[in-house]
Amino acid sequence: MSGGVAAGKKVTVAAVQFACTDVEAENVAAAERLIREAHKKGANIVLIQELFEGHYFCQAQRLDFFQRAKPYKGNPTIIRLQKLAKELEVVIPVSFFEEANNAHYNSVAIIDADGTDLGLYRKSHIPDGPGYQEKFYFNPGDTGFKAFKTKYATVGVGICWDQWFPECARAMVLQGAEILFYPTAIGSEPQDNNLDSREHWKRVMQGHAGANLVPLVASNRIGRETVETEHGKSTITFYGNSFIAGPTGEIVKLANDKDEEVLVAEFDLEEIKSTRHGWGIFRDRRPDLYKVLLTLDGEKS
């Protein structure tokens, strides 16, 4: 690489993590308090964890839990955070359980710094395993992957299980995303206490950052949550470890597994853009060779 490096588009991002109660008003108030704290630390874009309005109810398959879903338009939590975004001039991706007529989605509304709702992303990849039975509640997302142009940066937002798929991250960056955000709810595995995915979880997303040369922000909850299921009680201990990664995949800020935290980091997006262009990772792509991805078993059709 040769020549000078551009600079001058600095953006400060934040990830917050906290333990949820199962009282919506308490969790929304906690999110607002931590967003205000992040703003005081200079944050322009603040990420809240996945489905932060209550306990992670997907440990169970219960019909009454569908009552937690709300329509996208007129959603009181989104409206409250729109007002907060406008007041503080911060961008806030808002995770919520969406009811859309007779369909249900795990969704994020992207709120710009003037309070404008820029649109919706619906979670594409839906897990289905012990303790994480999301297919019972959520339709597969139908929005496709998106990049949202906010006041401070063009952002891409995936949701939890999306984080394991490199295609999701690449699709958002190819659409112009300069920073990737992943709200998450992940912790222990109820069927096997010896399983611990936290380091794998971090490394995969660090890989997305490094492979696409973009910063990445991940927010995860903490705390121990017990839910009454159709088979008795189920408990997950959420491992936090929210983090902010730089454009080579390096972790620049990392939370622990038990404390409420606000992580903040600043990036110069123009400088990162110059570096990304110099590496040629998008110039040297070979989509003509990727047709194998369209087959189920990886063999030529």
CB count within 10 Å of CB 154 equals: 16
Residue tagged active-site, from 50, 98, 134, 225: 50
**Catalytic residue check, 50:** yes
**Catalytic residue check, 167:** no
Q: Which residues contact 40 (CB under 8 A, 6 or more apart)?
A: none
Residue tagged active-site, from 20, 58, 160, 168: 160
Distances (CA, A) of 185 to 124, 133, 135, 156: 15, 12, 15, 18
CB count within 10 Å of CB 115 equals: 17
| Contact between 173 and 139 (Cβ < 8 Å) | no
Distance from C-alpha of 72 to C-alpha of 243, rounded to nearest angstrom = 28
Residue tagged active-site, from 123, 146, 202, 253: 123
**Catalytic residue check, 273:** no
Q: How far is CA 47 from the centre of its chain?
A: 7
Residues of 265-294 as b/e, b for ≥16 C-beta within 10 angstroms? bebebebbbbebeeeeeeeeeeeeeeeeee
| Catalytic positions, written as ranges | 50, 123, 160
